[in-house]
């Protein structure tokens, strides 16, 4: 029997009958289907097998000047899968954590895990010991593949976990000799980026490949309902939870995105800039899996915060697609050398993870000649839910239209549908929706509506034609004298001022109004004053939305994927 949120789920099958008509279908671009058709690929492992066979001689991943072909990916990931099966003795369904930035080792490790019938648990390399311990214990991971830079963190907590197998890798392990040796020496000895660590019994990643190569790889038959990933939520709204994503969930979302982007994709030859970490669900599905499926090359950027090196790398590529978050795009358009790049091959740019601001979208298009298209999703939906048409010329402040085979409903606190134009919690149903949170039955009961829609916690509105607009996170809403104020709106208005680089908005206690608006601003113009900003806001915002407090900062706290962390601003 199909699980909740998977193809064949009765709730999904009946959605066309029970849900309101999908008015947004009329706004679909020509050629985009209302629904995806079942694929011949039952799992991500089947997607990997097919891509490696079809595109064997094409480049699949590039990092630090080294390219792995599809044939390399096929061979190396099978070697790793063989080691996991034959040497490590792991069984289908066992969880394997992966903790590393964008390196060539990432796809090899994750593809090997999937091809062995195991479950991948993505781990943020920036985690503290406390955060790492929680995720490893919660997932019950038996093994971990970890970059040496993070090994000291693991050493502090491993005794409290179920880990029995530790595979360590160095930054340059899959680079050719002697570049690999030199890179690892520089990282460890000169830049001192690897704190001292001790993990007795750990196995080097390159050793697993060599030993796995000497063993027979056993192909595993996987079904759509089998679990592929435990994708942990960012934890910005509470304790991190593992979204249980099946092979069917991720294959469905891959096909939904392929149907949406459609004509923009080539059959082999596209180059997508992958600056978002692959352990983030957006880059995992859209960059890694979708572009693998169509024979593209992922240009892996290990440290996108080093904008000088990032822009220099872009200057050496004829990239055709670009994904990122608003803060990344903002940093690039304000970099002095970015405008000199060759954008003639660029087909489309996609922003996700956080709202794309108007001023950033307009600058991006002015510099590149290509619109910055916005998408919306979350870990629990593999991640895509809504998307703006890929060829829409201008930013319009919406998250676009629901993807094929997706139903979206806006609900009030009593789970009743709200009227067109009124804000409500965005709730979603479709084959990409998770089967639930890992080992959280109580939270699963609260996460879905009575008729099977996932409650996203995001507040949105929809117009008569089906265009959705995110208003804000439900808990981020500010209540000023009984009026709802949504931080995204305030931030967008503030960043329209030419002297503002970045802005974040929160609510603060106020004895008269209950709450008041406070903004934190990073200045582009060092002479910008609070009063000048207030005058700017008075032009665009009604009285109760005006910032009562303005604080200038040199930087704003951000998550690993560039989301501004309002939670940290509230607690400091």
pLDDT, tens digit, for every residue of 155-169?
Answer: 999 999 999 999 999
Contact of 468 with 460, CB cutoff 8 Å? yes
Average pLDDT over residues 205-219: 96
Q: What is the pLDDT of residues 234-249, one digit of tens each?
A: 544 456 899 999 999 9
Cα separation, 48 vs 289, in Å, equals 8
Q: How far, in Å, CA of 227 to CA of 146, rounded?
A: 21
pLDDT tens-digit readout, 501-546: 999 999 999 888 889 999 999 999 999 999 999 999 999 888 889 9
Q: Which two tokens stand for residue 250?
A: 């991720």
Strand 454-462 to 424-429 pairing: antiparallel
Say how far apart CA 382 and CA 253 lie, in whole Å. 6
Q: Which domains does the chain have, with CATH numbers?
A: 44-52+69-222 (3.40.50.12780), 477-571 (3.30.300.30)
Q: What is the DSSP string of 516-562?
A: EEEEEEEESSTT--HHHHHHHHHHHS-GGGSEEEEEE-S---B-TTS
- C-alpha 141/C-alpha 120 separation (Å) is 9
Least confident of 14-18, 140-144, 221-225, 348-352: 14-18
Q: What is residue 485's predicted lDDT score, i.e. its pLDDT?
A: 87
Q: Tell me the pLDDT band of 394, cut-offs 50, 70 and 90.
A: confident
Render pLDDT for 307-331 as a digit per residue (tens, 0 to 9).
Answer: 999 999 999 999 999 999 888 999 9
Share of the chain above pLDDT 70, in %: 95
DSSP 3-state of 313 = helix
Angle between helices 358-368 and 326-333 (to 10 degrees): 50
Give the dihedral of Cα atoms 533, 534, 539, 542; nearest 10 deg: 140
Distances (CA, A) of 200 to 137, 197, 349: 20, 10, 45
| pLDDT of 10 strictly over 60 | no
Q: Give the Cα separation of 386 and 404 in Å (integer).
A: 9
Asked if 41 and 473 touch (Cβ cutoff 8 Å), the reply is no
| Cβ–Cβ < 8 Å for 352, 375 | yes
Per-residue pLDDT, 128: 86
pLDDT in tens, 259-312: 999 889 999 999 999 999 999 999 999 999 999 999 999 999 999 999 999 999
Mean predicted lDDT score pLDDT of the chain? 92
Read off the pLDDT of each residue in 85-91 and give the average, rounded to a whole number: 97
Residue 359: φ, ψ to 5°: -65, -35
What is the per-residue pLDDT for 19?
53
CB 375 within 8 A of CB 399: yes
Residue owning tokens 């056993």 = 218
- The size of the chain, in residues, is 572
CA distance 401 to 376: 9
- pLDDT (mean) for 7-35: 69
2 pLDDT exceeds 70?
A: no
Q: How many helices (H) and strands (E) does the chain have?
A: 19, 25
The pLDDT of residue 477: 85
Q: Could you tell me which residue, 409 or 353, shows the higher pLDDT?
A: 409
- The string of DSSP letters for 44-95 reads HHHHHHHHHHHTTTSEEEEETTEEEEHHHHHHHHHHHHHIIIIIS---TT-E
- Strand pairing partners for 272? 298, 321
Q: Look at residue 3 and tell me whether its pLDDT is greater than 50.
A: no
Q: What is the pLDDT of residue 18?
A: 45
Query: Per-residue pLDDT for 14 more than 90?
Result: no
pLDDT digits (tens, 9 = 90+) for 122-163: 998 988 888 899 999 999 999 999 999 999 999 999 999 999
193-196: which pairs have CB atoms within 8 A and are 24 or more residues apart?
193/149, 194/148, 194/149, 194/151, 194/152, 194/170, 195/149, 195/151, 195/152, 196/152
Residue 498, pLDDT above cutoff 70 = yes
When computed from its CA atoms, the radius of gyration of the chain, rounded to whole angstroms, is: 23
Res 473: pLDDT: 77
């Amino acid at each position: 029997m199909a699980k909740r949120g998977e193809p064949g789920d009765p709730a999904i099958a009946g959605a066309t009958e029970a849900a309101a008509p999908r008015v947004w279908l009329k706004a679909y671009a020509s050629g985009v289907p209302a629904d995806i058709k079942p694929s011949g690929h039952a799992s991500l492992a089947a997607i990997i097998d097919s891509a490696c066979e079809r595109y064997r001689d094409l480049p699949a991943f590039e990092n630090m000047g080294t390219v792995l072909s599809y044939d390399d990916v096929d061979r190396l990931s099978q070697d790793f899968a063989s080691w996991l099966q034959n040497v490590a003795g792991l069984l289908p369904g066992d969880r394997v954590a992966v903790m590393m930035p964008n390196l060539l080792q990432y796809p090899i490790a994750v593809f090997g895990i999937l091809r062995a019938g195991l479950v991948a648990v993505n781990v943020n390399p920036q985690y503290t010991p406390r955060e790492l311990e929680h995720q490893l214990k919660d997932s019950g991971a038996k093994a971990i593949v970890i970059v040496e830079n993070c090994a000291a963190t693991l050493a502090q907590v491993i005794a409290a976990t179920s880990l029995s197998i530790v595979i360590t890798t160095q930054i340059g392990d899959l680079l050719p000799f002697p570049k690999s040796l030199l890179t690892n020496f520089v990282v460890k000895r000169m830049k001192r980026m690897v704190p001292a660590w001790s993990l007795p019994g750990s196995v080097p990643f390159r050793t697993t490949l060599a030993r796995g190569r000497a063993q027979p790889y056993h192909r595993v038959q996987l079904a759509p309902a089998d679990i592929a990933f435990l994708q942990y939520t960012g934890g910005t709204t509470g304790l991190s939870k593992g979204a249980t994503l099946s092979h069917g969930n991720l294959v469905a979302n891959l096909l939904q995105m392929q149907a949406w982007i459609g004509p923009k994709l080539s059959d082999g030859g596209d180059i997508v800039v992958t600056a978002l970490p692959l352990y983030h669900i957006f880059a995992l599905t859209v960059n890694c899996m979708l572009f693998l499926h169509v024979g593209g090359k992922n240009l892996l950027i290990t440290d996108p915060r080093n904008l000088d090196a990032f822009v220099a790398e872009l200057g050496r590529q004829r990239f055709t697609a670009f994904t990122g978050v608003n803060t990344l795009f903002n940093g690039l358009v304000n970099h002095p050398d970015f405008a000199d790049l060759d954008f003639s091959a660029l087909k489309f740019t996609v922003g996700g993870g956080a709202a794309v601001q108007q001023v950033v979208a307009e600058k991006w298009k002015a510099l590149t000649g290509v619109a910055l298209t916005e998408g919306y999703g979350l870990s629990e939906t593999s991640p895509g839910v809504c998307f703006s048409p890929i060829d829409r010329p201008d930013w319009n402040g919406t998250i676009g239209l629901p993807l094929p085979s997706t139903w979206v409903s806006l609900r009030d606190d009593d789970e009743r549908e709200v009227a067109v134009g009124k804000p409500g919690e965005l709730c979603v149903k479709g084959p990409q929706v998770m089967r639930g949170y890992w080992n959280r039955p109580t939270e699963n009961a609260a996460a879905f509506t009575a008729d099977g829609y996932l409650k996203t916690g995001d507040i949105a509105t929809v117009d008569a034609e089906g265009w959705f607009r995110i208003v804000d996170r439900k808990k981020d809403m500010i209540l000023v004298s009984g009026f709802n104020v949504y931080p995204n709106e305030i931030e967008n208005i503030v960043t329209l001022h030419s002297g503002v680089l970045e802005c974040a908005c929160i609510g603060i206690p106020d004895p008269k109004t209950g709450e008041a608006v406070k903004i934190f601003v990073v200045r582009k113009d060092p002479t910008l004053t609070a009063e000048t900003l207030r005058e700017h806001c008075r032009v665009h915002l009604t009285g109760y939305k005006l910032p009562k407090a303005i604080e200038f900062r040199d930087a704003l706290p951000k998550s690993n994927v560039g989301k501004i962390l309002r939670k940290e601003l509230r607690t400091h």
